[in-house]
Amino acid sequence: MNNIKRILCQWKSPELVAYKLIQEWGDAGFIWLDGDGSDLGRWVTLGINPLEQFCSRGLETSKNDSNPFKILRELPPGHWTGWLSYEAASWTEPQNPWQTSSMATLWIASHDPILKFDLQKRELWLEGKDEKRISIMENFLKSTFHQKLSKAHSETTKQTERKNSIPLESWDWKLTSQEYSERVDEIKEWIAKGDIFQANLTTSCQAPLPESMRPIDVYSKLKKCSPAPFAGVIIGDQMAKGEAIISTSPERFLKALPSGEVETRPIKGTRPRDRDPEKDADWAAELICSPKDHAENVMIVDLLRNDLGRVCQPGSIKVPHLLVLESYSQVHHLTSVVKGRLNTNKTWVDLLEACWPGGSVTGAPKLRACKRLYELEPTARGPYCGSILNINWEGGLDSNILIRSLMIKESSISAHAGCGIVADSDSQKEAEEMNWKLMPLLNALT
């Protein structure tokens, strides 16, 4: 059955539509893949009331039906969105030890129809295969959205923001800055001995989630402070009920077109933004000229070239962009781009398996770095450093790296951050960088 695409005449903001969808159908199984209006973040996708969903939980590699990659390989055609946790690596690298997260290893759902928003052209589309469901959604949108309701939503949102907040003192930090610095020094000792070359050390903090604060409320607060091209919120259902992912990620992990062309965009190197233009430019210049950040980025580019080489055609892997400065609302980053073409007998699932977990959030050599991180990190990462997966109607994949992200598990919310450690890392500066990444998330919720 061919896709039905319908462009609706009247533009409405994705946030307004998202709130009205949840008001009508509830938020279980809701997805909101957001963008920042840039070329990378041009499109927004909303989905509600999923048709099908699959879930994998725990690390029981002996059970074939728990294998998240097997589930992904057997997905029927459709538009699928969900998350894959970092610890799914227990299936790709079973010889390594992995912590067990309380959150689902994989949760993924299909939606028909989906709503797509073109932020550049300000167009709103309905896409799907089921004419009846499309008509129901179209009629709902036409009957629901008019100016008075838009104003009512705006006032309701303001009231919600006033009463929903998480004080900074509510957060329980798993590592202090001093403890984080000490672990950085341990990694540097391993690097000096030749055990590893680089490792991405992460930590987290946790707080009670106010009863009235829904995942969509959390994301609405975050997006105002930190818009990003690979952002969004996914709210689990059924076996993942009470779980949600909220992300303001700037990093694409893997994109795979049906034609076989693939791309990854690793980020390595971070400096804070400053309201003073001169100081902001100084931070950017420091990042551009930093040998440490250059070495870290190039090391991960080489790792990802190797990962892609496991499933791509010989000679197809290129690096069209290396060490490019990208500036976001809260931080400057160095980004590189690696491209290739899949072998004709390989799919996006093969690509995902070959590259999992992502090189930019692990280290080099990847397996040894992951083992060392297992020894040092205080908690499981769960969906953090995993990916939001988006599989379109044509069978193409796009995915992010779940950094700058929050995880909700029932009445608790957690935030995570990390830094790449190399031989000449300064342990105190790495602790500062970890705070640059984490504090915008926490401040947005106060």
Q: Is this model's pTM higher than 0.85 or not? A: yes
Picking from 199, 162, 127, the residue whose alpha carbon sits closest to that of residue 377 is 199
Q: Residue 40's CB: how many other CB atoms inside 10 A?
A: 15
Name residue 6's beta-bridge partners. 126
d(CA 90, CA 98): 6
- Classify domain 4-444 by CATH architecture: 4-Layer Sandwich (3.60)
| Catalytic-residue membership of 251 | yes
Q: Which of 268, 339, 371, 409 is catalytic?
A: 268
Catalytic residue among 87, 127, 243, 251: 251
In 3D space, the residue among 266, 198, 203 whose CA is nearest the CA of residue 420 turns out to be 198
One digit per residue, the tens of pLDDT, for the chain of length 446 reads: 578 888 886 788 999 999 999 999 999 999 999 999 999 999 999 999 999 999 999 766 545 568 999 999 999 999 999 999 999 999 999 999 999 999 999 999 999 999 999 999 999 999 999 999 999 999 999 888 764 555 545 545 555 555 689 999 999 999 999 999 999 999 999 999 999 999 999 999 999 999 999 999 999 999 999 999 999 999 999 999 999 999 999 999 999 999 999 999 999 999 999 999 999 999 999 999 999 999 999 999 999 999 999 999 999 999 999 999 999 988 899 999 999 999 999 999 999 999 999 999 999 999 999 999 999 999 999 999 999 999 999 999 999 999 999 999 999 999 999 999 999 999 999 999 898 889 999 999 99
**Catalytic site residue 366?**
no
Question: Residues, the chain, total?
Answer: 446
Q: Phi first, then psi: what are they for 207, rounded to 5°?
A: -145, 155
Which two structure tokens, joined as six digits, stand for 213? 């604060």
Write down the domain spans for the chain: 4-444
Q: Please, is 369 exposed, middle or buried when counting C-beta atoms within 10 Å of its C-beta (0-12, 13-18, 19+)?
A: buried
